[in-house]
């Protein structure tokens, strides 16, 4: 089993859906979510406010620096996402296609690390040093 | 290293015989994909499989010339590579959990140390579908297929696509990393996805062939090695999926195209068009094989793009000259192709056939209605039709544009020759 993030990609300035379209999309997404839960794929999901509502926090220095976001000024942004669990990429891609249809947007599928990957990364970093 | 094979030992496969380097090389090309695929299945890790396969071949290089080729070289290589892999995993206790799991899953059969290599065909097919997964970039698919199934080394793959070795190594590493991280499965796709996914596999093999037949970069007019590798992969795939008409169609298309290669470029390095080729140079054995494959497809009666293109090539290779060619049949095939895939490129090829049947004027009328400005065959075709109609000035402009867009040296030489033979500009 691998966990994947399915991000819904939105583009700034693209035409907004009508109220009816939005309602249909919410309903389709809920049906899809229900299916994810029923089949054991569900981990988490959510939709987010637009990037202009974001705040960037830098806690790496001595003082915490808080600035008006978003972090990167890009025309493309993540409008919402699912975190799912699937046997392999083929299974994840099939779910992503359904999710894309339900929410009416393009999606990006990206795998999460697992513990073994983290061990590998640490070992590779050591080997590079 | 000795190249000789004692005649007395020939054909007695049960007895080891000394091997020369070329023989090991041949076995290497034939067996590498099998060994890698079997090990991927066993260890669940492409890197490990590849490394162990490489090591087994190095060992073969050292041992076979001395001790002789074992009766079943493929099984010997697989067993050697597998044992080395198991040793490696035992030594490296830190190997990640996924591999450990795969090892436990598949490691059970170990009680039969030299078990015959069964169902490996399946495993090569799985590997092919993994390498040609649509989640990988097209150039990465080609590179992985040539490396893992074709057994080409990274420098050879780099050389084939004229990119620096470092770039190719990175491309392959990145693709393998994605396979592992994203958990791209090592499996033949389920039936519902098979047509789409098979198209990807066929497309990758055809890309290798085309890069060999008509290199778009570099100084070579034809890269025979890539054509042969693509045909070899095509034959392997046909062995693995004997009932898929498009698999057979692709093989037929490649074989019939390859058959004409000896006549395709003249001694002066200039491309020879179909109507001027010395047909006695065509490879009869390949033509016969291709015709058999096309007949097989016709009996199946499930046409697809590769089969139709193969059928067009079968008509051409069936004729002793251009005037003998059954152009009506070719047109019928293009009509069928256009009905299925109405693209401007198919329309362009169809127009060439119309010109043969109804004259250059009729062909040009179709060509002039197409929007294909960035495609050099469009301008080359237009130039030829205009030339045949005696419209030298327009033909010259079209040749200029075609030459500007073309990148294959033999093609450029041919187009230049034709342009320079036009009547001088009026006035």
For residue range B255-308, list pLDDT tens digits in order: 999 999 999 988 888 999 999 999 999 999 999 999 999 999 999 999 999 999
Contact of A123 with chain B, judged by CB distance below 8 Å, is answered with: yes
Contact B403, B419 (CB under 8 A): yes
Q: Is A60 exposed, middle or buried (0-12, 13-18, 19+ CB in 10 A)?
A: exposed
- Look up the CATH number of the domain holding residue A37: 3.30.70.1060
More confident residue, B22 or A127: A127
Per-residue pLDDT band for B217 (boundaries 50, 70, 90) equals low
Distance, in Å, from the CA atom of A39 to the CA atom of B261, rounded to the nearest integer, reads 55
For chain A positions 39-98, those within 8 Å of chain B (CB to CB) are 87-90, 92-93
Helices (H), chain A: 19-38, 89-103, 115-128
Tokens of B427: 């006035």
pLDDT of residue B91: 85
Per-residue pLDDT band for B319 (boundaries 50, 70, 90) equals very high
Identify whether A68 is part of a domain. no
pLDDT of residue A124: 84
Intrachain domains B15-107 and B343-427 with the same fold = no
Give contacts of B189 with chain A, Cβ < 8 Å: 90
Per-residue pLDDT band for B96 (boundaries 50, 70, 90) equals low
pTM over 0.95: no
Contact B133, B165 (CB under 8 A): no
Strand-pair partners of A66: A57
Distance, in Å, from the CA atom of B370 to the CA atom of B372, rounded to the nearest integer, reads 6
The whole-chain average pLDDT of chain B stands at: 86
Pairing of strands A107-111, A2-11: antiparallel
Q: What is the sign, positive or negative, of the torsion defined by CA atoms of B307, B313, B317, B321?
A: positive
Say how many CB pairs under 8 Å bridge A and B: 41
Distance, in Å, from the CA atom of B60 to the CA atom of B31, rounded to the nearest integer, reads 12
The DSSP code for B238 is H
Pairing of strands A55-58, A107-111: unpaired
Least confident of A102-111, B207-216, B265-274: B207-216
The DSSP code for B17 is B
Check A90 against B182: CB less than 8 A apart.
Answer: no
Contact B306, B241 (CB under 8 A): no
SS3 content of chain A, % helix, strand, coil (to 5): 40, 30, 30
The residues, any chain, with a CB within 8 Å of residue B118's CB and separated by 6 or more, are none
Nearest one of B411, B346, B341 to B383, comparing CA atoms? B411
Give contacts of B96 with chain A, Cβ < 8 Å: 116-117, 119-120
Whether the pLDDT of residue B224 is over 90: the answer is: no
Whether the pLDDT of residue B370 is over 70: the answer is: yes
pLDDT of residue B9: 40
Total count of domains within chain A: 1
Identify whether A90 is part of a domain. yes
Strand-pair partners of A4: A84, A111
| Predicted ipTM of the assembly | 0.88
Distance, in Å, from the CA atom of A35 to the CA atom of B197, rounded to the nearest integer, reads 26
- The shortest C-alpha distance from A89 to chain B (Å) reads 5
Contact of B187 with chain A, judged by CB distance below 8 Å, is answered with: yes
CATH number of B15-107: 1.10.1740
Q: Is A74 exposed, middle or buried (0-12, 13-18, 19+ CB in 10 A)?
A: exposed
More confident residue, B215 or B68: B68
Provide the domain limits for residue A94: 2-49+79-124
Residue A117: half-sphere exposure toward Cβ, Cα within 13 Å: 12
Distance, in Å, from the CA atom of B323 to the CA atom of B25, rounded to the nearest integer, reads 45
Distance, in Å, from the CA atom of A120 to the CA atom of A114, rounded to the nearest integer, reads 10
Check A111 against B98: CB less than 8 A apart.
Answer: no
pLDDT of residue B268: 86
Of B94, B96, B185, the CB nearest to A88: B185
CATH number of B343-427: 1.25.40.10
pLDDT of residue B16: 52
């Amino acid at each position: 089993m691998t966990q994947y993030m399915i991000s819904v990609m939105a583009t700034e300035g693209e035409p907004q859906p009508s109220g009816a379209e939005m309602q249909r999309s919410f309903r389709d997404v809920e049906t899809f979510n229900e299916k994810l839960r029923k089949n054991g794929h569900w981990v988490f999901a959510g939709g987010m406010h637009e990037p202009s509502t974001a705040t960037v926090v830098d806690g790496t220095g001595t003082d915490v620096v808080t600035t008006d976001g978003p972090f990167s000024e890009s025309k493309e942004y993540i409008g919402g996402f699912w975190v799912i669990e699937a046997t392999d990429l083929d299974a994840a891609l099939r779910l992503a296609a359904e999710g894309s249809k339900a929410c009416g947007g393009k999606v990006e599928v990206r795998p999460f690390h697992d513990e073994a990957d983290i061990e590998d990364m640490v070992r590779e970093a050591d080997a590079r040093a | 290293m000795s190249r000789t094979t004692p005649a007395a030992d020939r054909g007695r496969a049960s007895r080891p015989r000394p091997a020369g380097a070329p023989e090991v090389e041949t076995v290497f090309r034939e067996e590498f994909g099998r060994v890698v695929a079997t090990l991927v299945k066993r260890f669940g890790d492409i890197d490990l499989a590849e490394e162990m396969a490489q090591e087994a071949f190095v060992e073969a290089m050292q041992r076979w010339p001395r001790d002789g080729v074992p009766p079943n070289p493929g099984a010997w290589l697989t067993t050697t590579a597998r044992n080395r892999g198991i040793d490696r995993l035992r030594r490296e206790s830190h190997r990640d959990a996924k591999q450990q799991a795969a090892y436990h899953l598949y490691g059970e059969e170990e009680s039969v140390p030299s078990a015959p290599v069964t169902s490996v065909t399946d495993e090569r097919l799985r590997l092919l579908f993994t390498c040609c997964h649509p989640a990988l970039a097209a150039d990465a698919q080609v590179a992985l297929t040539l490396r893992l199934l074709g057994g080409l080394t990274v420098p050879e793959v780099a050389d084939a696509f004229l990119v620096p070795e470092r770039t190719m190594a990175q491309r392959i590493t990145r693709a393998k990393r994605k396979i592992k991280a994203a958990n791209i499965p090592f499996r033949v796709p389920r039936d519902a996805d098979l047509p789409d996914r098979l198209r990807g596999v066929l497309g990758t093999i055809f890309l290798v062939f085309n890069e060999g037949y008509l290199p778009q970069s570099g100084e070579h007019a034809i890269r025979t090695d890539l054509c042969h590798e693509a045909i070899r992969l095509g034959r392997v795939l046909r062995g693995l999926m004997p009932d898929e008409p498009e698999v057979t169609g692709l093989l037929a298309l490649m074989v019939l195209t390859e058959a004409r290669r000896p006549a395709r470029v003249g001694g002066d390095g200039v491309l020879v068009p179909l109507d001027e080729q010395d047909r006695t140079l065509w490879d009869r054995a390949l033509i016969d094989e291709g015709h058999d494959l096309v007949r097989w497809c016709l009996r199946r009666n499930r046409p697809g793009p590769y089969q139709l293109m193969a059928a067009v090539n079968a008509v051409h290779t069936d004729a002793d000259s251009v005037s003998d060619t059954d152009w009506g049949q070719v047109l019928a095939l293009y009509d069928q192709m256009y009905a299925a895939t109405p693209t401007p490129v198919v329309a362009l090829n169809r127009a060439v056939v119309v010109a043969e049947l109804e004259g250059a004027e009729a062909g040009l009328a179709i060509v002039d209605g197409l929007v294909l400005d960035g495609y050099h065959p469009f301008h080359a075709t237009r130039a030829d039709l205009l030339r045949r109609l005696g419209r030298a000035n327009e033909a010259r402009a079209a040749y200029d544009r075609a030459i500007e867009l073309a990148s294959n040296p033999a093609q450029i030489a041919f187009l230049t020759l034709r342009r320079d033979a036009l009547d001088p500009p009026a006035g």
